[in-house]
Structure 1
Amino acid sequence: MKSTKRFLLAAGWVLLFFAPRAYGQTEVKVNGAYALAGVIDLSVEVPISPRLSLASEFLYSPWESVKLGGHSRPEKFGYVLGELRWYFKKTDRDHHRGWWVSGDLGALVMMKMSRPYFFKADQFIHWANKYERGTGFLIGPAVGYKWILGEHFTLDAYVGGLFVMGWYNGYFLYDVYGPGGEIVHRKDEIIMKPHRPNQPEIDDPWNGSSNWIPRFGVNVAYKFL
């Protein structure tokens, strides 16, 4: 059974990256908008018909500590997505271009992040005094436009949203100050009784929630001929 699953997984990746190229060529992309914030967002797109393409995306935010509003909080997370994209303009043995829509499905592989609040307590950005660590499931749409910049390069801009269903442990986070008022380190403590409509009889730190998050980007791509 395990060998069958491994074979199917390997076959899926082979089909994705080495699919027959009758309608175009494989693109490797980097999201320039996220790169400005130090977030790695790479993707690969493979055309499979005159209007359709398959893509996979890998995003990773390495930030263990982000300082805003005088406090530092973790914003470390990563996800993988699979995308089916449909182009409005039909292409004939050329590369896809123009307007497109997509459906995306994936997993939040890991997260260790705190939620910022905007325009709260007379501050533009206010960090919560806790963070969450766990995994999740992602699904959502996107819409975008692709320009052909030359024989090997394309530019792809898009906006969309991801519905996140997450399962995680929560941690209270305390800033520990030194004699001079400086923050010397952070102390965390697991939340054994997270907020729920009905609390269980036995303390259980696992919690879950769902919400929409924005997704956007400006991808610069190199296409292999």
Structure 2
Amino acid sequence: MKKKLFSLMCMICLFTCTAAWGQDVALKTNGLFWLTTTPNVGVEVALSPKYTLELAGAYNPWTFKDDKKMRFWLVQPELKYWFCEKFEGHFVSVHLHGAQYYGGFKKKRYDGYLAGGGFTYGYDWILSPHWNLEAAIGIGYARLWYKESPRTICEKCHEDKTKNYFGPTKAAISLIYTF
């Protein structure tokens, strides 16, 4: 009986807390990722009237014709400052990113990781009471650690490499649903 009562109280608290977060949570997807056949989703939560925290992720498991592939998973947290109010108008942000990748399109295969961060500018248009459209572009840094090898599978043929990348680190045209 006590377990049932405890479970019921937890459920009530959960639904009460969820209702209290109304219009402060957004679910989004980046259309540019979908153009590369990469499923992706992001969740953004309001921290205050001017700050939100987003956690986005993407995963590409596909292999294309002629064994061309670029399999990867990516996680990108982002802290945004809104000049007007959350989920409306101009914003600037700082983002981090981490990923693991494997693939290649020509003569080489790359198997590795990346980590870094950067800065983003964006704008959010309100389409209706629950739907928004967001465009964002970011620049920053990424450190890549990878093994480079010929496209044929050969464990002993790889070469360990690292690379420092400075440039675009985020591009998004996202469809957003706010709760």
TM-score after normalising by structure 2 = 0.79
Matched, 1:78 2:73: yes
Given the alignment of the two structures, is residue 146 of structure 1 paired with residue 148 of structure 2, yes or no? Answer: no
Q: Trace 1:1-225 onto structure 2 (pairs within 5 A).
A: 21=21, 24-65=23-64, 72-89=67-84, 91=85, 95-108=86-99, 110-114=100-104, 127-173=105-151, 187-190=152-155, 192=157, 194=159, 206-212=160-166, 214=168, 215-224=170-179
Question: Residues 97 and 146 of structure 1 are in contact (CA less than 8 Å); yes or no, is this contact kept in structure 2?
Answer: yes
Question: Alpha-carbon deviation of 1:223?
Answer: 1.1
User: What SS does structure 2 have at the residue aligned with 1:150?
Assistant: coil
SS at the partner of 2:33?
A: helix
Please give the alpha-carbon distance, in whole angstroms, between the structure 1 residues aligned to 2:43 and 2:74.
15
Please report the TM-score for the alignment, with normalisation by the length of structure 1: 0.64
Output the CA distance in 2 between the equivalents of 1:159 and 1:191.
Answer: 40
Query: Residues of 1 paired with 2:55 and 2:49: CA distance?
Result: 19
Unaligned runs of 5+ in 1: 1-17, 115-126, 174-186, 195-205
Residue deviations 1:41-69, cap 9 Å, x none? Answer: 2111111112111010101122323x5xx
Contact persistence 1:172–1:190 (CA under 8 A): no
Count of residues in correspondence between the two structures: 161
Q: Distance in 2 between matches of 1:193 and 1:48?
A: 46
Aligned partner of 1:223: which letter?
T
What is the CA RMSD across the aligned residues, in angstroms? 2.4
